[in-house]
Amino acid sequence: MDLLSSGIPLLDDALGGGLLKDSNLLIIYDTYSNGWTLAFEILRNRIEEGDFGVIINSVMPYTPLKMELNLINFDLEGEGKAGNLAIVDVFSSLYHVSYSLDFVYVDTSMDTSTFLPKYTALYRKLLEEKIRGRRPIGIDFTIDGLAFLFGEEAFVKMFQNLIALKEKARVSESRKRPVNIFLMNKGLSSEGLISWVALYSQYVIEFCSSAESPKEKMLIRKSPLPDFKPKEGGYRFRIDHGRVVIE
């Protein structure tokens, strides 16, 4: 199997070897967890390998998102201006906030009823203007944010539609296939929503924070690779001097 590295050797080993091209990775975390940063650590590492980041932002304006990423020294604006990532800003589109930054894609005519065609058009524009043959590494920030905006039942139907569009692209297009990372705060998600998204995810990682320790438990719940061996007790995850550490 042709696998991509996350850039974190211990994580690759824990997953059974790495990430399949065109696969989906679901990261589940709780309210006080920093586990969501793992997605951006993977993105940082994949950018160094020549890939392109696509952040679908549905939960906060651009400025606080940039501030949140200071935790792991991820220079969102610097990477955007360098042509290494773009943001499809659903939040700002729905709340009519515009930016002069050419890597932040906003469509203020978007609403919940026109999201899918507007999103698809923005993504196609992004493929032509920015990605240009590179491998997209997508981060949905966050799945629960989209479900809140559209309602869970409507979101699941829309999500299935996106999975179908991805399958059509897989069989009809020859461009480099993406890796998609779904972020989900389980404190804002129903069990049903988690189950649906996990169903369409080849990999599932869950984080559990603790009031007693800055180290979080990291559990690999699912991997499709034959060398994957679930580790009893899981792994330990923490942030140290702006970088993700897995033990």
Phi, psi of 142 (to 5 degrees): -135, 170
Per-residue pLDDT at 111 exceeds 80: yes
Section 63-82 average pLDDT: 97
* Omega within 30 of 0 (cis) for the link into 142: yes
pLDDT digits (tens, 9 = 90+) for 196-205: 999 999 999 9
- For residues 40 and 175, what is the distance between their CA atoms, to the nearest angstrom? 23
Strands 179-185 and 136-141: parallel
Question: Which domains does the chain carry?
Answer: 3-246 (3.40.50.300)
pLDDT given for residue 120 in this prediction: 87
Give the pTM.
0.96
Section 184-201 average pLDDT: 97
Strands 19-20 and 3-4: antiparallel
Check if the beta carbon of residue 198 is closer than 8 Å to that of residue 187. Answer: no
Instruction: Return the beta strands (E) in the chain as ranges.
Output: 3-4, 19-20, 24-29, 52-57, 85-89, 104-105, 136-141, 179-185, 203-208, 216-222, 235-240, 243-246
Judged by average pLDDT, the poorest of 5-19, 70-84, 139-153, 163-177 is: 163-177
Please work out, in degrees rounded to the nearest 5, the angle formed at the alpha carbon of residue 230 by the alpha carbons of 228 and 234.
130
